[in-house]
Structures are given as structure tokens and as C-alpha cells.
Amino acid sequence: MEEVSSNQLNEAQYKAVHHRGGPLLVLAGAGSGKTRVITERIGALVERDVPEDAITAVTFTNKAAREMRERLEKRLGEDKVKRLRICTFHALGLMIIREHAKLVGRRARMSIFAVPEQKSAMRSVLADLKLPTDGDQVDRVLQKVSMLKSGMSQAQDNAITVIADKYDALLQKMNAVDFDDCIVLPLRILTDDAEARALWQSRCRHFLVDEYQDSSRMQYDFVRLLAPGNANLTVVGDDDQSIYGWRGAEIKNLFQLERDYPTLEVIKLEENYRSTGSILQGSNSLIAHNSERLGKTLRSNLGLGKKIRVWQAETADEEAERVTAEIRAQRAGNKLGWDDFCVLYRASFRARAFEMAMREAGVPYHVSGGMSFFDRAEIQDLLAYLKLVGNFSDDLALMRAISRPRRGIGSKALEVLGQFAHEKQCSLLEAALEDDFTHSKAHVLRAFAKMLVDIEHVFLHGEADDAFDMLLDESGLEEAIRTEAEDEDEAERRMGNIMSLRRWWLRHSESGGDLSSFLQHVYLAADEQDDEPDGQVRLMTVHAAKGLEFSHVFVVGMEAGTFPHKNALEENRLEEERRLMYVAMTRARHRLTLSFAKSQKKFGQVEKMGPSPFLKEIDADVLNWVDKDSGSEEDKAESKAEVDAHMAAMREMLGLD
DNA sequence: AACGACATAGTTTTT
DNA sequence: CTATGTCGTT
């Protein structure tokens, strides 16, 4: 994905790729060929006959892991790459938990609780304690519990500690783990159990960590346990691109490395192969306002190129229309594809205006993130069944599954069943199977439970497609979808989603995976279903854009209060917002446009907005403020900018500056 | 038990 | 303006 002007590695890249053993820190600026260095390094290790099983590379996103894998497949072939451990932090953590489940009170085939499940679990904990259970309260408590679990905050609040313990106990009872557990539990396993530690250290004899600036303290502890002392640890990161502080990422980890690894070698990659000189100069001048830096200046390998445009619009709708029109014009004029364009915004609600404008103009677009495949009701329903088949202890999955399709079981009956299960110390599903469970709906519950036992049998011993089809049929899910849909089209669409999950499952099953590993994969790799949309303009948040690059980038919503976001300012995170802006700008290869709307609709009310202070921090020499309705002036300004740029390049070449 | 009508409160970023 | 939660009705 990153374009590299030459196939040869530059000196710094070469040193990083061929570094022989011992801890290594690669400080890699935006567009400096970071991914290439990691993949080439792994390739070199394999070609040096390091066993694949001794190599582990962790990333923060599935996208990054997938890309690394794809690149290596080209170089090493599928067989070798299959044996390499290339995955996200969370997936690695889950592998460890699965292998040593007993040590943390779990059984194999555990469920993963993503946000909706976490909420339900927390809601039931709060209800038990007679505390308020409105969504707001649940969110707040969950966040505090998460902070406590991941060591970000000390236990100052006793109530939270009690809640956290109850919540953890509930998850354990349901044989489930949440996202935090994927890091916390392995940490416990590796700390407490010397044998497990030795095993995983041997699997991480060559340990590589990507996007290290986004690691939390726990993740760093995790790294140190897996790669202690003088290990062959390679971490790659960029202090200027640390944008997950709100999720516990600590740039400090980058500085701390030198203390924890005295033999650490540091290599800086400062050659940028991506952006034009103006874009880089603008980005550099912005980030120079930060004080919390290691200090690094990117050098461009391309010409100065065009100036960074700044646009102002009256309203957000007008902004969207203007950007859309410009994309159409540029594409036509420069024989570019739709996917050479990207619109970036600070907050996802900004996407809406662009979606409407592009739909109106017939511009094909794709919104990354947002309503995902997994948020659809039919997928959630199906996943509930699958989870229950895979883990009978998952009471939450049972509650969802049993109410779709409707079986006349509601909160009343479930409460009685829950009471009974509590007395018997078993799961809801097991309770329903007990002969001495009596209730007016007992036969319905029992039939439901028996059906799941039958389905499980086929999943364990039968063919993957038979099992899936049996589930669809016997559960009544397919029928429910077909009868409840408004029209034929909707039914087809929903069944299409079901079928695409089916294909995914078959593919997984063919490569030897079971239901439980399928579900874990699905839950940790939610973005993977988003098939890379070719030939569409990409709309996404700045966070989602990290690691990507586009020929033409529009950073929209450049208003004071939205970017930098005012909540972030209140929380003292101006520098992080600036890094975010830096990430946004450095996505662009040839053309960067920053735009803002002078007014915004908020809850139906119109509010005046001012330009982002970041606009003043960017070197004015590379900015070109372009007014609306002045296309010709824009051209003039552009050509003047080009002349200026050309002159500057000449001066530089002659060494006159 | 399930659905629909109302009120109400709230817009950051996500593995 | 909208998504979510609460309440009252079938």
C-alpha cells in the first residue's frame, strides 16, 4: 500500500531489516516505509532459517496484521506464513488464554463479550446490587471498571471495586472474557505460571511489535514478560502518531524502553516516500508545536508539489457538496480512480452530510466503520445461537436466542429459570434440561435446550455446512427472517447477510477451525468482513485512517471545537489532537485540502463556528486559502503557488537558503 | 409478553 | 433531529 520510490532499502531501513538480535527500536515517521521494514525483517529472519514458530509479530489492528500477512505471502509463500504468528495483541492474548484456560478459571470454548454483551452483563450486575441500570449509568460504570481492570486508575472508589469483582465473577461463570481480559488474563498467566511463561517466551524468541506508541502500560508489561532482558525484540513506532491516549496508550512506553532494555539500539526512519514537500512541510510545522516529542523531521523525496488548500463553507452541507464536486472534477481531469480520494473527519457523525451529497451526485462511496455487518439484527441473532452452541454457559446468548424467533418466553419466565439455575449452580441452558424444573413454559424451554444439544452434536461431529443449515432451519431463524421482513427485498438482503456469515464459517472450517475458534476470530476481527471497497471514495474518521494513504485527502470539519475537539481540550489532550491532525495530513500523497464550515446544525439549532486553531499553526507558506465562487482565482493562486514552489526548489538546489 | 406511543437527553476517537 | 429508555396498551 505504501508507495516506495525505489526498491532499494535506504541505509536506515537496511540497518533495521538486518539488525542482528537484541532489542531494537525503530522510530518510523509517517510514510517512511515502516510496514515494509517489518515485513522484510520477518522475511529475512525466515530466510536465515529461524523457525517460523519462534517468530511472533503483533499489531493493533486486524487490518495491519492482514496486510503484513499478505505481503509476506508474496515473499515466502503461504505455507511458511501460516506458521508465523502474526496477529493483534488481543488475538495473541486470547491464544494464551485458550491454552491455559484453567489457570484463569475458564474452560476452552469460551465466549468473547464485545460491547453489547458487556453492557448486558453489567446491567445485570447493577440490577443485582439495586443500582440504576440506564444506559448512561451502565456505560459510565463499564468504563470505570475497564480502567480499574487495566490498571489505568487506582481503586479509589470502593463501589467500583465491588462492581468489578461481581462483573468478573459473572463473566467467569458464563465462561466468557471481554476485550480487557484478553490482555489482563494472559498477563496473569505469564506472571504466575513459569511453565507457561517459558513456553510463550520460546514462541516469541523473535518478537516484533508494530505501532508501539499505541500500547498501554499493560500491553507493555505483556511485551516485557514475553521478551525480557536481551531478547530479540523489535518495536516500531512513531511518537508523533500516538492517538489512542484516551484508551490508555502511553507514549511514555516509548521512552521507557531505553531504561528497561539497556542494550537497546535505536534507528530513525526519517525519509518520507509518500507526500509532496508542501504537505510534509505543513505537517512538520504543525507537529513542531508539540512539546512531548522525541524529535524527528521528515524529509521528502518528492518535489514540493501543490500547496495545501484551505476551504471555508457556510454550512456543513455546502462543505460536503463542494468536496463532492471537486472530487468529480479532479477524477475526470487527472484520470484518477474514485478510490484515490478520501474524506477524513474527526467525529463520525460528520459522515452523514457527505453520504448524502455523494449519493446525490452519483459518486460511489464507502463509509468505514459505522454500522457494521455485525450490528445487524439478523447477524446478532445468528451469532447468539452460534455462541450458545459453542458455549452452553453463555446465558446472555441464550436470552437473545430464545426470544428470536418469538417463543412466548419473556423476562418473567427467564427470571424463574434464572432463579432455578442459581439454586442448582448451573447455566440457564442446563437448568432448562433438568427434570425437576417446573413452570408453565418449562416444555418450551426444555425443547429449546434439547434442540441446542442436538445442534451441538452436529457441529462437533457432522459436516460444517449441515450443522449451519440445521441451525438455521431448526431454530426457526430463517423462517422468522422471511416472514417478518417487510418485503421480498428485505428478506433477501437479510438472508444474504446470513449467507455471507455462512460462507465465512465454511471457509474457516475448511482450514481446520472449529466453532469456538471461528467465533473468537469473528469477535476479534470485526473489521475483516468489510471487504476492501475498490473504486469508491473512502469516508472515515482520522483514527480509522492511520496507516493508510491516498492521493487526494480532504480533512473536513476543521472548526474550533470539533478539531481539536472541545472535550479533548478539557481533558488536557491538545497535543494528542495535534498528533491526530498530523496523522490526517500525512495520509495525503499529492493533494491535501482542509475545509471547515462557518456554521453547524446542532440538535436542529444553528451554531456559529470558527476556524480550527490548527490552521494557524501550519506554516502559512504552504497554505492556500481559496474562497468559494472563485474558481478562476483559485487557478491563478494555484499557478502562483506552483511558481513559488518551483522557485523555492531552485533556491534549495542551488543551496541559497 | 410484545408492541407502540411518548419523552428525554445528547453527539469523540475503538481493540 | 435521532436513538434510547419508559410507560401504557393489547
pLDDT digit string, tens, across residues A428-478: 888 888 878 777 777 888 888 989 999 999 888 988 888 899 988 888 888
* Grid coordinates of A177: 472474557
Q: Kindly report, residue by residue over A380-409, the tens digit of the pLDDT.
A: 888 889 999 989 998 888 888 888 777 877
Residues 6+ apart with CB under 8 A from A622: A278, A279, A281, A282, A285, A307, A308
Distances (CA, A) of A446 to A417, A429, A451, A473, A656: 11, 8, 8, 18, 86
Neighbours of A390 (CB within 10 A): 22
Residue A242 has pLDDT above 80, yes or no: yes
Where are the alpha helices (H) located in A193-271, listed in sequence order? 194-203, 217-226, 252-260
The answer to whether the C-beta of A604 is closer than 7 A to strand C is yes
Burial of residue A422 (CB within 10 Å: 0-12, 13-18, 19+) is exposed
Alpha carbon distances (Å) from A6 to A3, A9, A33? 9, 8, 11
More confident residue, A264 or A600: A264
Please identify which residue in the block is written with the cell numbers 516506495: A4
Does position A657 have pLDDT exceeding 70, yes or no? no
> What pLDDT is recorded for position A3?
42
Q: What percent of chain A has pLDDT over 70?
A: 91
Which residue type does A431 have? A
Identify the residue whose cell numbers are 471498571. Answer: A145
Residues A177 and A106: beta-carbon distance below 8 Å: yes
**What does the alpha-carbon distance between residue A73 and residue A482 come to, in Å, rounded to a whole number?**
42
Active site residue A616: no
To the query of whether residue A340 is one of the catalytic residues in this protein, the response is no
* Separation of alpha carbons A420 and A428, rounded Å: 8
* Strand C bases, protein C-beta under 7 A: 1, 4-6
DSSP state of A611: B
Pull the grid cell for residue A523: 469477535
d(CA A244, CA A251): 9
What digits encode the pLDDT tens for the residues A311-324?
Answer: 988 888 889 999 99
Segment among A14-23, A51-60, A377-386, A575-584 with least mean pLDDT: A377-386
Segment among A265-269, A300-304, A360-364, A539-543 with least mean pLDDT: A300-304
Higher pLDDT, A285 or A125: A285
Q: Which residue has the cell 506458521?
A: A83
pLDDT bin (cut points 50, 70, 90) of residue A203 is very high
**Residue A181 known to be catalytic:** no
pLDDT of amino acid A1:
42
CB atoms under 10 Å from CB of A405, counted, come to 16
Residue A485 pLDDT greater than 70, yes or no: no
| Protein CA at A486 to nucleotide C1' at B14, angstroms | 33
Residue A135 CB neighbours (<10 A): 9
Instruction: Please say if the pLDDT value at position A2 is more than 50.
Output: no
List the grid coordinates of A337. Answer: 480512480
A566 is catalytic: no
A394-403, A499-508, A623-632: least confidently modelled range: A623-632
Decide if A211 is catalytic: yes
Nearest nucleic acid nucleotide to A571, CA to C1' distance:
B12
Q: How far is residue A81's CA from residue A92's CA, in Å, rounded to a whole number?
A: 16
User: In the predicted model, is pLDDT for residue A6 greater than 70?
Assistant: no
CB A248 within 8 A of CB A150: yes
**Which residues, in sequence order, are CB contacts of A596 under 8 Å at separation 6+?**
A311, A312, A313, A319, A556, A557, A558, A559, A609, A611, A612, A615
pTM of the model: 0.84
Mean pLDDT to the nearest integer, A331-346 = 90
CA-wise closest residue to A55 among A10, A29, A86 = A86
Residue A41 — very low, low, confident or very high, per pLDDT cuts 50/70/90?
Answer: very high
Q: Calculate the angstrom distance between C1' of C4 and CA of A566.
A: 25
Say if residue A371's pLDDT is above 90: no
Span A63-76, average pLDDT: 87
In this model, does residue A636 exceed pLDDT 70? no
CA A365 to CA A371: how far, in whole Å?
Answer: 15
pLDDT band at A225 (very low <50, low <70, confident <90, very high): very high
Q: Select from A151, A544, A552 the least CA-distant residue to A336.
A: A552
> How many percent of chain A have pLDDT more than 90?
33
More reliable by pLDDT, A641 or A130: A130
Distance of CA A571 to the CA centre of its chain: 23
Strand C contacts (CB < 7 A) among A residues 123-142? 133-135, 138
Cα A316 to chain center, whole Å? 27
Q: Determine the protein residue whose CA lies at the shortest distance from the C1' of B14.
A: A247
d(CA A447, CA A302): 69
Crossing angle between the packed helical segments A488-510 and A515-524, to the nearest 10 degrees: 110
Q: Which residues of A108-119 are buried (b: 16+ CB within 10 A; e: fewer)?
A: ebbbbbbeebbb
Look at residue A419 in the predicted model and tell me its pLDDT.
Answer: 83
DSSP A30: T
Average pLDDT for A204-214: 93
- A197-214 mean pLDDT: 93
What pLDDT is stored for residue A65 in this prediction?
87
pLDDT value of position A634: 46
Q: What is the pLDDT of residue A529?
A: 56
